[in-house]
């Protein structure tokens, strides 16, 4: 049965986005709660180890994901089956495991960091399985299923983490409990829901039974996905480089950075929800060459981002110090100026998100490849200059300047793509 089935009645973008917002907001608040519990219970150095482990695994996990969820959700012609995406995702997880074993000892000699990397790797694998199901739900306009899954995962993860941290006083054990909660949602909700919807491709019994035509399909999908996988390194590396350098300078400072950067990151997750809703429509509009509709979708996404970002910046200016002191501990509130820099960077990332989803939906691989190289080089230079001399503050400036360049280049590429689409055919 095709996974492209539509709902009985057209589903408004607002309705889908609301469910996605609810789910992503729940995940963001859950992660924020985990950092807050950690700040109060184990201190900034342990959060620094967690931040360093996440920075090590982040680029690897994004590389292994190959942007398969977006490719599946925008595969409006159903060229590949779900099982093809699942086979490629499993291969990516295996590759990520090997890469993490090689990279982790090069970045850190701390055994606690190694253990946290291993736990996060399992989490990413489970989340990857859920992400593919979300791609199916997204393409079928079943956003409530995604929202409920994200909401359930957020509640269970935070509850498991808080209970185990309170009992054992061990941040690592609490992360393990969070992983078990992710597994419960992946296998207890996402896969059964896909099967109930009639998406029989969600059955995984035959994943390992590859015939000749199956191998050909997976290779073809890999050729499409691999450029996206390489391009996904750009934002991951841009986030990782300042953290890698700061972790070598001061683990405690990296702990403060990890906690404070999550506020703007949570806002970016909300925009990701809207981008995931818009992506199939952006793909269909591109195929239909409907420039007016595409511009309307892009303006709507950018306007939402600008409003949310401006509200976040204003909140940091007005109530940042007391809120941070309450959420974490008073020593975190000393860095409100750095929080403001990170929030402005988050605002720019939010405005950039809709354009980024558009470029992916339109398969603008060559444009994004050139952009990625320039951004990575710029980020390495900025981090190398600012972090060793200015520490935490330098890392914040590196993040902000890179976010500004990313936002400007994304929208410039979108503008150029729309001009090409609007031009009359030769």
pLDDT of 140: 75
Mean pLDDT score of the chain: 83
Residues 6 or more apart whose CB falls under 8 angstroms from that of 24 comprise 150, 269, 270, 272, 273
CB 172 within 8 A of CB 123: no
> Which tens digit of pLDDT belongs to each residue from 311-359?
999 999 999 899 999 988 899 999 999 999 999 998 998 898 888 888 8
CB 301 within 8 A of CB 407: no
pLDDT at 397 over 90: yes
pLDDT of 359: 85
Q: In terms of residues, how long is the chain?
A: 426
CA distances (Å), origin 215, targets 68, 94, 96: 17, 17, 21
What is the rounded distance in angstroms from the CA atom of residue 223 to the CA atom of residue 19? 33
Let me know the angle formed at the C-alpha of 337 by 335 and 342, rounded to the nearest 5 degrees: 95
> Which tens digit of pLDDT belongs to each residue from 108-124?
888 999 999 999 998 88
DSSP letters along 356-406, please?
HHHHHHTT-HHHHHHHHHHHHHHHHHHHHHHHHHHHHHHHHHHHHHHHHHH
Q: Domain residue spans in the chain? A: 10-231, 252-421
What predicted TM-score, i.e. pTM, was given to this entire model?
A: 0.78
- Backbone CA torsion sign across 257, 259, 261, 265: positive
> Which tens digit of pLDDT belongs to each residue from 355-372?
888 887 887 777 777 888
Chain centroid, CA 131 distance in Å: 11
CA distances (Å), origin 250, targets 160, 336, 387: 30, 19, 11
Exposure class string for 292-303: b at 16+ Cβ within 10 A, else e: eebeebbebbbe
Chain centroid, CA 105 distance in Å: 25
Assign 3-state DSSP to the chain and report helix, strand, coil percentages, each to 5.
85, 0, 15
CA-based nearest residue to 161, from 266, 41, 258: 41
């Amino acid at each position: 049965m095709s996974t492209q089935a539509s709902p009985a009645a057209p589903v408004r973008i607002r309705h889908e986005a609301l469910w996605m917002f609810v789910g992503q907001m729940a995940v963001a608040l859950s992660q924020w709660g985990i950092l807050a519990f950690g700040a109060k219970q184990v201190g900034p150095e342990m959060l620094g180890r967690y931040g360093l482990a996440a920075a090590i695994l982040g680029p690897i996990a994004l590389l292994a994901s190959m942007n398969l969820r977006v490719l599946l959700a925008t595969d409006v012609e159903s060229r590949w089956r779900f099982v093809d995406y699942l086979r490629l995702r499993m291969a990516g997880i295996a590759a990520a495991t090997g890469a993490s074993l090689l990279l982790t000892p090069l970045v850190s000699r701390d055994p606690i960091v190694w253990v946290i990397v291993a736990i996060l790797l399992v989490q990413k694998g489970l989340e990857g399985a859920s992400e593919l199901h979300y791609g199916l739900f997204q393409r079928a306009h079943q956003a409530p299923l995604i929202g409920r899954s994200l909401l359930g995962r957020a509640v269970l993860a935070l509850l498991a983490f808080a209970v185990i941290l309170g009992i054992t006083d061990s941040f690592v054990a609490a992360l393990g409990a969070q992983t078990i909660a992710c597994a419960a949602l992946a296998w207890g909700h996402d896969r059964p829901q896909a099967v109930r919807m009639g998406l029989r491709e969600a059955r995984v019994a035959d994943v390992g039974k590859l015939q000749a035509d199956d191998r050909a399909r997976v290779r073809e999908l890999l050729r499409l996905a691999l450029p996206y996988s390489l391009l996904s390194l750009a934002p991951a590396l841009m986030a990782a480089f300042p953290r890698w350098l700061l972790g070598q300078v001061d683990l405690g400072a990296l702990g403060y950075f990890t906690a404070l950067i999550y506020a703007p990151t949570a806002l970016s997750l909300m925009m990701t929800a809207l981008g995931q809703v818009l992506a199939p429509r952006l793909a269909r509009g591109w195929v239909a060459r409907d420039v007016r509709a595409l511009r309307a979708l892009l303006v709507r996404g950018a306007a939402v981002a600008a409003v949310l970002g401006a509200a976040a910046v204003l909140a940091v200016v007005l109530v940042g110090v007391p809120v941070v002191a309450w959420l974490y501990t008073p020593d975190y509130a000393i860095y409100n100026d750095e929080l403001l820099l990170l929030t402005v960077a988050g605002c720019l990332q939010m405005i950039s998100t809709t354009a980024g989803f558009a470029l992916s939906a339109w398969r603008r691989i060559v444009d994004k490849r050139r952009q990625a190289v320039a951004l990575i080089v710029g980020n390495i230079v900025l981090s190398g200059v600012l972090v060793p001399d200015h520490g935490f503050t330098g890392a914040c400036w590196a993040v902000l300047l890179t976010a500004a360049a990313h936002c400007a280049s994304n929208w410039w590429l979108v503008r150029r793509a729309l001009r090409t689409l609007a031009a009359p055919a030769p």
